[in-house]
Structure 1
């Protein structure tokens, strides 16, 4: 029996060592997972904070219009926007605009207002079978690349229309799904992004058939370039060692708002993968 003692002792020590190594391995993996979860939460907080900052700007714009009962000239709106120094303070924001709400058939009145404010004639377009028109009548920053967007009726595009209809029903902000900014306006370049709408209530709003819309004169909106917005949020120091994908709704290729330029390390597989869900202006994101 004694001659087997060294072998038994060796096996026992080996088993204990393997057990301890296993515990150490799993403890290390669990620590890595906890640290990764915390890093993912940090990334989420950065994104939410950046979006909240931008949406506060839309609320400030709404307060300006409310204080003037919607009577804001193009020059006053331009001066307000210029004072914000958007390039330095609100990276990712494409711009802020105002949509006039009008019944289909009342385009001529809107076109006269556009001519008065811009000094250039713009038709309301494209043709529609919808009962409502929501053409862009003001937008900043305006430049030759987006001048043709004045008069574009957002109610003719399904993703935009869905968000506008929600904004018609209450005084909350409502985000659209994924859209191509500049699409349908003749822009030379389009950008993946999204829009957030909020209705503007004034005493001189046009008469409408639905009592819940009776004071709606139009909609203020903010346009966001998805890549610029999320890169700005995630590039804040210290840089986070995570790869991020953001989807409008469920994770699907057609819903992809943003993906980190550097792909994740394939050897990690799903070991370091977390999913978070948030709601942005009433719209669920993953």
Structure 2
């Protein structure tokens, strides 16, 4: 019976969910977002760090130029003091002690020239005139006066004027600076070239042995008025002495950099080479030593003052770094990390939410398919029921009923109830009675 096996295949057609992208790529999406976000954060951090470093370098260069300019300007101002003394001698037949004291006092050194130890005059004393010279000074009231150090020399010099004439400066009275090689070299340079000359590193005679500082001196020659000094020979013949100023390095540098002195570590070396022996000044002695001194910002500059070279090393301290906003890279790194994690979490939420939605749709499709299948199978019962096509009554067709029972049992869990109809029951009872 072909009519019993016909199916409506169109009833089983169900819309299917479109093929989805590979799940592996979706699962990797949060990690890809995290890696990309961290790369962007790293790039931003690198750019910010470079920007901060450029700003620090620019500010450091500015501070180095400023520091060196202040040192040079201070020394130029002190040279003007000696030029003024030279002018005093040129304008006078002789300069007496009280005149010298009055002139230097009018300059108010302590107020206008911080760091200067004093201003003096060193007189040339020929060996033949030494005794007369000592006698004249003692008659002025300096009964213990003598030229120091002792010993015979062809030429003596003596500090006869030094203002302010008190405290440490009293120790320098009568000292022969020409007897000491470093001082002598500067004095000869000033004499022969008729210019300002600066000595190398020395220990000043003003030092008493406690809290000593490196020192140096500035010299300016004084020639006899009315006599020529155009040539070296004329200068050596007609020189009468030198006006000079002694300096203690720490005192000289005190306050030169103002309120921002803690920004820089400044080292000043005598000469062109930076050695322990040539170190004249180190501002780090006034600061706390530590990691801040190991800054990558370091400058080395050579300058010349009154014909003498100085080498200046400057490195940045923590104070300078704090004046430049260096927190931006850290803020970018922290913010970038937080944003990267948030984006990763959001991507993960979207991916897992989509997977749940896809699973729900697939379950709905499965249920619909099963329902449609059940409906289709029920419809097939129309083809296997033994119904008369004319009167629409169920036919008494044993073979048809057996075929229907077999079909239903193959396609469902339904179980037929078996029993006897009234006619069959009557017949069965009659057969039973007939049996012995």
Band of TM-score, shorter chain? 0.7 to 0.9
Q: 1:268 to 1:25 in 2, by over 3 A?
A: farther
Deviation at 1:265, TM superposition (A): 4.8
Q: Please say which structure displays the higher CA radius of gyration.
A: 2
Q: 5+ unaligned residues in a row in structure 2: which ranges?
A: 1-21, 312-436
Instruction: Spell out the pairing of 1:1-286 with structure 2 (5 A cutoff).
Output: 2-3=25-26, 4=28, 6-69=30-93, 71-120=94-143, 122-128=145-151, 130-143=153-166, 145-182=168-205, 191-203=213-225, 210-234=233-257, 236-237=258-259, 239=261, 241-249=263-271, 250-260=273-283, 261-263=286-288, 265-267=290-292, 269-286=294-311
Q: 2:159 touches 2:175 (CA, 8 Å); kept in 1?
A: yes
Q: 1:80 to 1:44 in 2, by over 3 A?
A: same
Q: 1:252 to 1:7 in 2, by over 3 A?
A: same
Q: 2:147 touches 2:176 (CA, 8 Å); kept in 1?
A: yes
Q: 1:104 touches 1:131 (CA, 8 Å); kept in 2?
A: yes
Structure with more of its chain in helix, by fraction:
2
Matches of 1:118 and 1:82, distance apart in 2: 21
Deviation at 1:51, TM superposition (A): 1.7
Deviations 1:258-281 (A, max 9, x none): 222104552562412212221111
Deviations 1:40-93 (A, max 9, x none): 221222222222212111111111111114x00001111111121111111111
Q: 1:144 to 1:116 in 2, by over 3 A?
A: farther
Deviations 1:107-134 (A, max 9, x none): 1233244335555352222235654322
- Range moving further from structure 2, 112-121 or 163-172: 112-121
Q: 1:111 touches 1:121 (CA, 8 Å); kept in 2?
A: no
Deviation at 1:7, TM superposition (A): 4.0
Deviation at 1:245, TM superposition (A): 1.5
TM-score by length of 2: 0.58
SS in 2 for 1:232: coil
Matches of 2:113 and 2:206, distance apart in 1: 23
TM-score by length of 1: 0.86
Matches of 1:270 and 1:239, distance apart in 2: 16
Q: 1:146 to 1:267 in 2, by over 3 A?
A: closer
Structure with more of its chain in strand, by fraction:
1
Q: 2:149 touches 2:175 (CA, 8 Å); kept in 1?
A: yes
Matches of 2:142 and 2:152, distance apart in 1: 29
Deviations 1:164-218 (A, max 9, x none): 111121221111112222269xx5765432110011011488xxx9444122111
Q: 1:74 touches 1:117 (CA, 8 Å); kept in 2?
A: no
Aligned residues: 279
Matches of 1:244 and 1:143, distance apart in 2: 31
Deviation at 1:20, TM superposition (A): 2.4
SS in 2 for 1:220: strand
Q: 1:243 touches 1:263 (CA, 8 Å); kept in 2?
A: no
Matches of 1:210 and 1:135, distance apart in 2: 22
Q: 5+ unaligned residues in a row in structure 1: which ranges?
A: none
What RMSD over aligned residues (CA atoms) do the two structures have, in Å? 2.7
